[in-house]
Amino acid sequence: MSDRVAAGGEPKPTDINKTVPFRGRGFNPQPLGVIAPVVFVGLIAFWEVGSQTGFISDLVLPAPSEAFEAFLQLLETGMFWKHLSASLQRLVIGWICGTVLGVIAGMAIGLFSLARAALAPLVSAIFPIPKIALLPLFIIWFGIGEGSKVATILFGTFFPTVISTYGGVDNVDRNLIRMGQSFGLSWSSIVRKIILPGALPAILSGFRISASIAIILLVAAEMIGAEFGIGAYILLAGSLFATDQLIAGVAMLSVLGLCFAWLIGRAEKYFLDWRA
Amino acid sequence: MDLHLQKISHSYDDVEVLRGIDLEINQGQIVCIVGPSGCGKSTLLRFIGGLERPSSGQVIQIGEPPTGSLNPLTYIFQDFALLPWRTVWGNVSLVLEDHGIKGSAAEDIISDVLARTKLTEFKKALPRQLSGGMKQRVAIARALAVKPAVLLMDEPLSALDSQTRELLMDDLVDLWLREGFTACYVTHNLAEAVRLGHRIAVLSRRPGQIRDIVEIDIPLEDRPNRSGELAGKQQQLWDLMRQEALAADKELLDV
Ligand SMILES: Nc1ncnc2c1ncn2[C@@H]1O[C@H](COP(=O)(O)OP(=O)(O)OP(=O)(O)O)[C@@H](O)[C@H]1O
Ligand SMILES: [Mg+2]
């Protein structure tokens, strides 16, 4: 080998001496802050231009500007706040009740053999049922007013929360629980100081899923007997084929979803800053 | 406070893990337990601290733990078992909170144990920011905070690199010289055993039985200067373990 190195100097890459090829590229997604807005704006600009030039027919898809006008109209008439507050109220009540009950049930399943034996199969059996299919039942049980709407969202968010919570409890490091016992910590201290924080990452990622499910179910719940609400607005627009209003409503839902995701992201940053 | 292990036998389902273990852990002594992998050392330690119950036999506590001892039988774990969401300070305070020690009383104890383990400047650090050796020092600080009568250590150094292990072993020796704690120290490292142990119990392969108990009456502080004698003891231990380790290896191959 040594005779291939030029005497007295550092070896230089030539056709015999090559630098070692770099093979460690990829599989390491980096946050690229500018890309998302660029894609977003680009897509909407393309859509707008397509509509203006007639490349996208008005019948197929209204221009974004038209949808925006529909939104402005909603703002001017003051209906926006009525729809938004009605929807938010249902979402927040349903989601909070569903997740609180879900976390409690999930903790019970994670901690007690009896609860696990009794509830875990039940949860697996009911989770896959589309809650929309149960809406008529909810209306009979809870009335056509707010009750059935909140109940739909509550049921929809309850089950995924149960599953993520007890999955989280099951995954808490057994050695940490052993440690707590070996230092004579009380049962409630072990649950509060070891199991709950240990399960929190799983619980919070369950919140992400249940928040999306809540928004999906909102539209379904507002299908019947709702005067106000973003879902009701979308459905009315749909039945009148007012596609500009429909797009405006869907965009509102999407923004709502982004807001929830952002809030949960903040909560994760705050509660899980101990993770790398 | 002394501990006497009397005729401890144990089986997990149909696997016999331990058979007729008799052992005394006397106050102020470090008793090491060595033995081939899977012979039931960790299981035995769990019995001593009351985390599990043996199928037969018992662990007797002779005499009262010293007054002020919050948690007489205290573990130091191989994997440190620190809560990753609590700081160094919070991890130590965890074990005091349940004894109703809060406020300035807790602060005094925590500052004291952190100073004794040279961790004062890291009190706000989270476990993920610490090296393995420092994590284990936090676990030692946490154990000291509850004023244990007996420290139960399950391979406390084997997750660490060899330099860190040396340093921490010196720390343990210093600590023992200052405080004379009682300990039961499980290890598979014979050098650790002869460095720290007053008595070394050698277990046979599974089902674990006591093959022999080797006493080392060289004072801990003199041991670095009398490495020749220690090497002899270590050789004696190795001769005892060698056949067991070989046989244990064969058994695994047969399965
Ligand atoms: N909870 C358990 N249930 C069933 N078997 C177990 C359990 N804990 C340990 N064992 C078995 O008991 C035997 C002894 O285990 P133990 O962990 O006490 O050995 P050890 O001497 O500490 O081994 P090592 O040197 O690897 O740490 C092993 O064969 C193990 O598989
Ligand atoms: Mg072990």
Q: What is the pLDDT of residues B200-212, one digit of tens each?
A: 999 998 888 999 9
Which atom of ligand 1 lies at the shortest distance from residue B35's CA? 21
Please tell me whether residue A193 adopts helix, strand or coil conformation: helix
Q: What percent of chain A has pLDDT over 90?
A: 66
- Residue B205 Cβ inside 6 Å of ligand 1? The answer reads no
Ligand nearest to the CA of B244: 1
CA distance linking residue A261 with residue A253, whole number of Å: 12
Within a domain: residue A10? no
Q: How far is CA B129 from CA A201, B86, B157, in A?
A: 19, 12, 19
Pairing of strands B2-12, B15-25: antiparallel
Query: What's chain A's average pLDDT?
Result: 90
Residue A128 in tokens? 């896959």
pLDDT confidence tier of residue B85, bands split at 50, 70 and 90: very high
Chain B residue at shortest CA distance from A194: B83
pLDDT at A233 over 70: yes
pLDDT at B180 over 90: no
Within a domain: residue A14? no
Whether ipTM tops 0.90, in short, is: no
Residue A182 in tokens? 């070996």
- Residue B188 Cβ inside 6 Å of ligand 1? The answer reads yes
Helix (H) or strand (E) holding B114: helix B103-116
Average pLDDT of the segment spanning A108-136: 92
Give B241 or B251, the one with higher predicted confidence. Answer: B241
Within a domain: residue A54? no
The DSSP symbol for A17 reads: S
Q: Tell me which of B39, B47, B77, B252 to substitute to probe ligand 1's pocket, judged by most ligand atoms within 8 Å of the beta carbon.
A: B39
- Residue B38 Cβ inside 6 Å of ligand 1? The answer reads yes
Which of B184, B179, B173 has its CA nearest to residue B221?
B173
CA distance linking residue B29 with residue A253, whole number of Å: 69
CB < 8 Å from B in window 176-215 of A: 176, 178-179, 181-186, 189, 193-194, 197
Is A254 at the interface with chain B, CB within 8 A? no
pLDDT at A57 over 60: yes
Interface test with chain A among B47, B98, B151, by most A beta carbons within 10 Å? B98
Report how many domains make up chain A: 1
Average pLDDT of the segment spanning B227-243: 88
Within a domain: residue A258? yes
CA distance linking residue B21 with residue B40, whole number of Å: 11
CA distance linking residue B193 with residue A95, whole number of Å: 58
Quick: pLDDT tens for A93-118: 999 999 999 999 999 999 999 999 99
Within a domain: residue A82? yes
Within a domain: residue A18? no
List, by residue range, all CATH 3.40.50.300 domains of chain B: 2-65+150-254
Cα B238 → chain centroid? 20
Rounded to 10°, the helix A79-111/A64-76 angle is 100
Nearby residues of B51 by Cβ (< 8 Å), 6 or more positions away:
A178, A181, A182
- Residue B40 Cβ inside 6 Å of ligand 1? The answer reads yes
pLDDT confidence tier of residue A3, bands split at 50, 70 and 90: low
pLDDT for res A209:
93
pLDDT at A4 over 60: no
pLDDT for res A173:
94
Biggest alpha carbon distance in chain A? 93
Chain A residue at shortest CA distance from B94: A193
Interface touch B98/A183, C-beta < 8 Å? yes
pLDDT confidence tier of residue B162, bands split at 50, 70 and 90: confident
Cβ(B98)–Cβ(B90) below 8 Å: no
Cα torsion angle, B169, B173, B178, B184, sign: positive
pLDDT for res A29:
82
pLDDT at B33 over 90: yes
Query: What's chain B's average pLDDT?
Result: 90
pLDDT for res A77:
92
Interface test with chain B among A179, A203, A269, A270, by most B beta carbons within 10 Å? A179
- Residue B189 Cβ inside 6 Å of ligand 1? The answer reads no
- Residue B11 Cβ inside 6 Å of ligand 1? The answer reads no
pLDDT for res A7:
56
CA distance linking residue B139 with residue B130, whole number of Å: 12
This prediction's pTM: 0.85
Within a domain: residue A38? no
CATH of the domain at A241: 1.10.3720.10
Pick the most confident of A213-217, B179-183, B251-255.
A213-217
Q: In which domain, by residue range, is A188 found? A: 65-275
CATH number of B2-65+150-254: 3.40.50.300
pLDDT for res A36:
85
Distance from residue B42's CA to the centre of ligand 1 (Å): 7
Quick: pLDDT tens for A137-184: 999 999 888 899 999 999 999 999 999 999 999 999 999 999 999 999
Within a domain: residue A74? yes
Of the given ranges (A25-29, B151-155, B251-255), which has the lowest mean pLDDT?
A: B251-255
